[in-house]
Structure 1
Amino acid sequence: MTTNAIEIAPDSALLVIDVQKGFDDASFWGPRDNPAAEDNIAALMDAWQGAGRPVVLVQHLSERPGSVLAADHPGHAFKDLVEKRRAGALVITKSVNSAFYGTPDLAEWLTGRGIGQLVVVGIQTNMCVETTARMAGNLGYDVIVPLDATHTFDLAGPAGASLTAAQLATATAVNLQGGGFARVVTTAELLG
């Protein structure tokens, strides 16, 4: 008999990746999936903070001219749901997909606290969330990704190929769990 219970370590760190106002600009990003992502992220932040577990906020600082995530753009700011839960959280700034290439150094901070389990949520599912989760898995962390606490956008690729946000989220789930990088779960399974 299998169980859906997920064991959360007492010091499990919640990584909240790039939940920034710039991602609300549909004219810049296009169609998105999972309108419940922000509510699930807020619920997880509340649960982590309520249990006294560490929360890490990751903020993307785009170096691309005209980006809605550039430092001089209002879209660089955290969304209100994160900003009002910011107290006590470590803030890491990055300019690439992986939170492990940010400032301050995430791996050093985690190692210094003996943290071995990471729950990774945020934006975009198939970009910064997946890249960070893959690196965390490679570095030996126990990685959990509640997929319904992430979202992404439709994306065009080579030779006219494109995938919807929902297709990309499914591909991320398969890549992470099928590739052995992370366990893919739901927010309800973590909060249950």
Structure 2
Amino acid sequence: MDIAEIADNAALVVVDVQKGFEDLAFWGQRNNPGADDNIASLIDAWQASGRPVVFVRHDSVEPESPLRPGQEGNGFKEYVEARRGKGGAGAELLVTKSVNSAFYGSPDLDAWLKGAGISQIVLTGIQTNMCVETTARMGGNLGYDVVVAYDATYTFDVEGPFGWWRSADELAQASAVSLHGDGFARVVTTKEVLDAVV
């Protein structure tokens, strides 16, 4: 599947681009150092074209998490915060959540999208195989045309069961294959998305 047209009212959903993810001592090694520049480029393109942008913030309930409310890490990264409210005519929404899916947050993202007549979402943010993937899967289940800008996401190395360990790149690739191969979303590059935003 190639990138299709980006609808005039497609919503960019910016998932959990928060300062707490800079704490590599907590999260481990990350992949895709160019992700932040790509995320910024997508926000700029959406705001310049008057398309809606949804900023999603993870308010962790885990006591040790750098993302929990009241901690500096709960805030958006500076380049994201600097862009909030700069969309001009484009609608903007802040969703807060404490689980993986942006569709289980406040306010209700599904209701907001449907109320605005939006049927296509483009996902970017952190982490590829966690909140981005979960939001993409649920978006697909809810009937949205979901596009994931793969190189505008990143994740971290993780150890799983049975002593299995996977690098951030391996996890991100597995996430992309599952989403794209199983029809939950079209996984594309940032350039492909930007080229389609006219």
Aligned to 2:111: 108
Q: Distance in 1 between matches of 2:106 and 2:100?
A: 13
Q: Distance in 2 between matches of 1:162 and 1:72?
A: 32
Runs of 4+ in 1 over 2 A off after TM superposition: none
Determine helix, strand or coil for the equivalent of 2:118: coil
- Selected match of 2:97 from 91, 94, 97: 94
Q: Normalising by structure 2, what TM-score?
A: 0.94
Aligned to 2:56: 58
Counterpart code for 2:5: E
TM-superposed CA distance for 1:159, in Å, is 1.0
Counterpart code for 1:51: S
Aligned to 1:144: 147
TM-superposed CA distance for 1:169, in Å, is 0.6
Q: Unpaired runs of 5+ in structure 1? A: none
TM-superposed CA distance for 1:5, in Å, is 5.4
**Matching of residues 42-191 of structure 1 within 5 Å:** 42-87=40-85, 89-191=92-194
Does residue 41 (structure 1) correspond to residue 39 (structure 2)? The answer is yes
TM-superposed CA distance for 1:91, in Å, is 0.4
TM-superposed CA distance for 1:23, in Å, is 0.1
Determine helix, strand or coil for the equivalent of 2:67: coil
TM-superposed CA distance for 1:34, in Å, is 0.2
TM-superposed CA distance for 1:137, in Å, is 0.4
TM-superposed CA distance for 1:81, in Å, is 1.1
- Selected match of 1:32 from 5, 30, 33: 30
* Root-mean-square deviation over aligned CA pairs: 1.1
Determine helix, strand or coil for the equivalent of 1:100: coil
- Using the TM superposition, name which of 85-94 and 118-127 deviates more: 85-94
Determine helix, strand or coil for the equivalent of 2:136: helix
Q: Distance in 1 between matches of 2:79 and 2:40?
A: 6
Task: Assess, with a 3 A threshold, how the Cα gap between structure 1 residues 82 and 28 changes in structure 2: closer, same or farther.
Answer: same
Identity of aligned residues (%): 62
TM-superposed CA distance for 1:6, in Å, is 3.4
TM-superposed CA distance for 1:84, in Å, is 0.7
Judge conservation of contact 1:120–1:129 (CA < 8 Å) in 2.
Answer: yes
Q: C-alpha offsets along residues 30-55 of structure 1, whole Å, 9 cap, x if unaligned?
A: 00000000000000000000000000
Judge conservation of contact 2:3–2:186 (CA < 8 Å) in 1.
Answer: no
Q: Unpaired runs of 5+ in structure 2? A: none
Judge conservation of contact 1:6–1:189 (CA < 8 Å) in 2.
Answer: no
Number of corresponding residues: 190
